[in-house]
Amino acid sequence: PSRLPGYATHQVGVGGAVFDESTRKILVVQDRNQLKNMWTFPGGMSEPGEDIGDTAVREVFEETGIKSEFKSLLSIRQQHANPGAFGKSDMYIICRLQPCSFTINICQHECSRCEWMDLNDLVKAKNTTPVTSRVARLLLYGYREGFDKIDLTMEEFQAVHTGLFYKLFHKELPANYKTIPGM
């Protein structure tokens, strides 16, 4: 029996923070329509049935032409639009991605600008959103002191009754805790 109720109540969006450790560069875009002249991470809405990491990789590629690989989940934003009106809510999840290509091929419909920016410059930038700025600081912390400080890593499990697989994200658990008898 499915534990899912019959209707959907939320949108889930995913942003991709594509960071290249070797050059300390982060991929940022300026949206053509909203948030003009503000540096943000590329991203967009998750399709039903699509994994979070896959959404991030797809949206980054569609907007910027950059190929990347999912590394971890970094942050979750909850937002409600006009409380009391329609009650629409959204979750926006920011993932850390590692680039596999570097040549930008911008989507003109969505973005007006796209560049590889030094992470220190994004941390200090004024023309960025509060979330982008905060995640840039989180990345700087991870870059300097180890990404294990900030990463939520993913593991796959099988559900008890349905047999379906699901993905669980949380701070990496030391191996000795994973192997306590019982699991």
Site for a copy of itself in 18-57 (CB under 8 A): 33-35, 38, 45-52
Only segment of 22-30, 62-70, 77-85, 98-106 that touches a copy of itself (CB under 8 A)? 77-85
Instruction: State which of positions 116-155 bind a copy of itself (CB under 8 A).
Output: 123-126, 129-131, 133-135, 137-138, 140-141, 149-150, 152, 155
CB of 23 to a copy of itself, least distance (A): 20
Q: Which of 47, 59, 62, 155 is the catalytic position?
A: 62
Contact 92, 79 (CB under 8 A): yes
Q: What is the dihedral of CA 117, 104, 132, 151, to 10 degrees?
A: -90
163 binds a copy of itself (CB under 8 A): no
DSSP-derived secondary structure letter, 147: G
47 is catalytic: no
Within 10 Å of residue 106's Cβ, how many Cβ atoms?
18
- Please identify, using beta-carbon distances, which residue of 102 and 133 lies nearer to a copy of itself: 133
Site size toward a copy of itself (CB under 8 A) is 81
**127-164 b/e with 16+ CB inside 10 Å = b?**
ebeebbbebbebbbebbeeebeebbbebeeeeeeeeee
User: Which residues are annotated as catalytic?
Assistant: 62
